[in-house]
Structure 1
């Protein structure tokens, strides 16, 4: 989940929809990943996405007759660009970032809810700041446009405040955490595993988390729309593999945690601390989320709220088209 410098993402989206012209084509990358039987999936540092690493190391994709190449991205932004330009067929990304790409013209389809953030996105403040109301006039570092920026605004609104009541310091998430740890800002918005570093500052504490805003930060497997259209059997195999992997993890918890902790370069104890902050979705929770509705559990409802956020902050110039964005075909076809 996680963060996104907007200029690079905009370039990627323009590449994807063919709007840069001949002179701009050198900025766009191409991939033959859609050829043959291989599917390329991008993922990056977030507890809900490390399940893919387990699937690969336990050879579970082969069980469902799909050939998958996983691409790990140290920088989450790069994975967004990779999907927008076609360098990967699918990516693990947040709803907010998917909506941002779609608003720029990218054709993408959500086929799976990996998880909801239920505490692993946090607003962390220095000693002496007891709650969100104490942020008035304080320096708060966060990456603009990210889900943690969204979380900050939700928390401020609940405290009957707005961004005008604080001094917002925009910077990439890793830099924001470093600035907080060094004492240069009073608070920071960040996600796991960056939250671990932020909380090492003596006296620091989380004053707001995603646990307080159920459903606001969902994470997904998102495909290029043409892959879903042209290669549905492979998409189905990958969605099936996700649930096979969850079953394997349930039966082999310790080795699974070892795999996932190593992938995120944290200790197993640190990784276990993330458990309650990321709620992995069952098949039924997926079905419920894809069903249209007006409560926090429904994706269409959260998409409307997130779209309003992107438009109100000026991060998106056009409202994203939600028609066809959520495809529940594959979830419903998962063997029970």
Structure 2
């Protein structure tokens, strides 16, 4: 009996060792499996956000977020919707066929003036040169635009920029022959010699400058804060899906971190989406200022110049009235909601404090 008991004990010991080496601790395994399954269930219950964007350097980071899995890392399901025509993205959001869109402050104010209830929840960027007035040979000053054919997309920020420059030079809208064309078509018409000047944004600026002898007359760099770009949602979506909106905002800032740390790879992704070479895309870098969380927080505050969104929106409202694109001043009192950028800033602060405590231990 004794030898048998010893053999049994040895066998049991070997089995126990095998289990210890070959298997995970059951308690740890169960806990880990439960957490993974819970996360999977939570993600599967997340509403898929249909997010629209179009050709603008400040919005190409969304492509990076998708290709590098950043949306899923922030527990938000996103389906990107690319629009060849920028204004189509705005009308699609208005029709409720997408949930969120990338668009300018001016075009959002214009939509609100038309009775649409939209909310700005994030500043993507400010244009600092990527919106340009490009002219044919022989036009050397803004005053030289008098009597000339100038193409732009009516009511957009590039039209706004054109009129800002003309106003500074003492010209009125009636002093030019304005040709209303979609931005891509405006650039093409200029290259074909059908118009004398055009107001376009990147990457269409690259196309327009292919006309022999053409040059930049002035740009958004000359009017700081005049053109800002945003993540915009409908108020209904805001009320129903704040968690998803927070996921979008968190994803945006995580994407900016990725771009800073992996610039070459990020530029390849964005250049491909833009349909230009990486070298051409790099030329856009200085013309678009991607906003940090600190710059976002500041932009949402009241102010007395164009760096304040509220001030800029009021100026845009005046512009829409002046050019006859709005019959009355739009109500912009509920246009901005900064709770999501504030929540992200708080999360970052909490993380920093946590790391500080760990370092002090």
Given the two structures, how large is their TM-score scaled by the length of structure 2? 0.82
Question: 1:101 Cα deviation (Å)?
Answer: 1.3
Query: 139, 145, 149: which one pairs with 2:159?
Result: 149
Other-structure match for 2:92: 82
Please list the CA deviations of residues 199-257 of structure 1 after superposition, one character each: whole Å capped at 9, or x if unmatched: 11111111110000011110000011122122212111110110000000100000100
| Aligned-partner Cα distance in 1 for 2:46–2:255 | 24
Query: 276, 281, 291: which one pairs with 2:291?
Result: 281
Query: 196, 199, 202: which one pairs with 1:189?
Result: 199
Other-structure match for 2:236: 226
Question: 1:312 Cα deviation (Å)?
Answer: 1.3
Q: Is the 8 A contact 2:46 2:77 kept in 1?
A: no
Moved over 4 A (4+): none
**Match runs of 1:206-285 below 5 Å:** 206-285=216-295
Question: 1:314 Cα deviation (Å)?
Answer: 1.2
Other-structure match for 1:320: 330
- Tell me, which stretches of 5 or more residues in structure 2 are unaligned? 1-44, 349-361
DSSP 3-state at the match of 2:49: strand
Q: Is the 8 A contact 1:104 1:318 kept in 2?
A: no
Other-structure match for 2:113: 103
Query: 28, 46, 51: which one pairs with 1:41?
Result: 51
Other-structure match for 2:343: 333
RMSD over equivalenced CA pairs, Å: 1.2
| Aligned-partner Cα distance in 2 for 1:65–1:180 | 45
Other-structure match for 1:135: 145
| Aligned-partner Cα distance in 1 for 2:331–2:222 | 28
- Tell me, which stretches of 5 or more residues in structure 1 are unaligned? 1-34
Q: Is the 8 A contact 2:131 2:201 kept in 1?
A: yes
Please list the CA deviations of residues 38-74 of structure 1 after superposition, one character each: whole Å capped at 9, or x if unmatched: 1111001100001100000000111111111111111
Other-structure match for 1:116: 126
| Higher radius of gyration, 1 or 2 | 2
| Aligned-partner Cα distance in 2 for 1:317–1:113 | 27
